[in-house]
Structure 1
C-alpha cells in the first residue's frame, strides 16, 4: 500500500494527559419501549483502534449512531476532545472532528467518485487543502484515482467501501467511526480494507470499529468491548482478550 502523508486534524484536541479522546458514560438509547442500548460506558484513547463486537442485535450500530448524533439519547453523556458534545447536532460533531463511515457504505450513487469525496469536506472552506487531501485519498486508494469521474453507484462493493472511508477522511477527523467495513466483501477485499484501517492508524487516526468478524477485530484492536443485549458485558486489551471467552458471550454466557 502506498504511504500517505500524516493526517492533519482540523481541531487539535485539548485533552488532559490522562483523558480519553472519546468518553461515554451511561449511554442509553430506546426505540419506543425497547432499550436498545442500556447504560454503557466506554473510552477511546487517542491514536488507538477500539472495537465493539457482539452478535446481531447487540446494539453496536445503535451505539455508533448515537455517538454521531444520529439518534437521540435516553440518558448518558458523551465527551469528545475534552468537550461535552451530548447535545451537539451531527454536523457540529463532524466539525469537532468525528467522521462516521456507515454500515453498507451509503455512498451517493448518482454522484461521481470525486463529488462524493468533495462532499466529505463540506464543512471545510480550505480549497487548496481539500485538493491536497484528494491527492492523499488517491495515494491511499489508487483504484479511486482511476475512477474519479465514474458514478459511485457503478463501483464494486469493495470500491464503494474504499470511497466511504476516503469520504470520511476528507473531513480531517480526529476520530473515525467505522460500522462493519468488510460486510459483504470478497476475502481479498476484506484484507485490503483491514490493512487500510491499520495504515490510517499509523498516520495518527483514532478508530472506533464495529466489525462482523470478531477475530479480525480483536487482531486489529488495542482494546475490545463485547456487547450483548445492549450492554457491555466484557472488555480487555486486544492482546489479552480470549477468543473462546468471546464465543461464550456470543452464546449468551454472563461471565
Structure 2
C-alpha cells in the first residue's frame, strides 16, 4: 500500500491543534491556507505564469502590419485607396494615439495615390519624433527613416522649384533684354529714316531753287 501524500505544511499545522472543535479546526485550516498562500489543493494544477512580451517580436509584428497596409494602399484601386486613407484618418481623429498617428503619416507620405500629402506627413512624423518614448523601437526606427526620406524629398522639390523659378526669371530677363535691343534698333531705324527723308527734302528744295534760278537767267529762253 503506497504511503499517503503529505498535505501542505500549513494544513498540517492548522489541523494539529489538540482539543479544538471540528468546526473551529476547519476554520483554522482555511485561515492558515490563506495566510501561508496555499491556495491550491492537492492534485490541482497551479496557474500558468503570464507570458513575457518580447519587444523585438512585438515591433516586428507591428512593422509587418504597417508594411502590408502600405502594400494594399499602393496596389489598390482608387476607391480602395481612398477608403484606406479615410479609415486611417477616422482612427486618428477618434483616438489620436501614436500608432494611429504613425499609420496616417505613413499613408500620407506614400506616393502613388491621390491622398498623398508630404507636408502633412512631415508634420505628423515630427510630432512623433518629439516624443519617441511613446513608440516601440521598430516604430521609432520606421518614423526616423520615413521622416528623413520626406525631408530629403521636400528639400529637393523646393530646390527644383527654386531653380525653375530662377530659370523662368532668367528667360524673362533675356526676352526683355532682346525686346529692349529690338526696340532700340527700331527707334534708331526710325530716326535714320526720318533724317534721310529730311535730307532728301532739303536736296529737292535746293534742286528746285537752282532750277528756278536757271530759268530766270537772261537769254535762257528762246534757245
Q: Give the TM interval when normalised to the shorter protein.
A: under 0.3
TM-score for both structures, normalised by structure 1: 0.23
Bigger Rg, which one? 2
* More strand, by proportion: 1
TM-score for both structures, normalised by structure 2: 0.25
Q: Say which structure, 1 or 2, has more relative contact order (CA 8 Å, 6+ apart).
A: 1
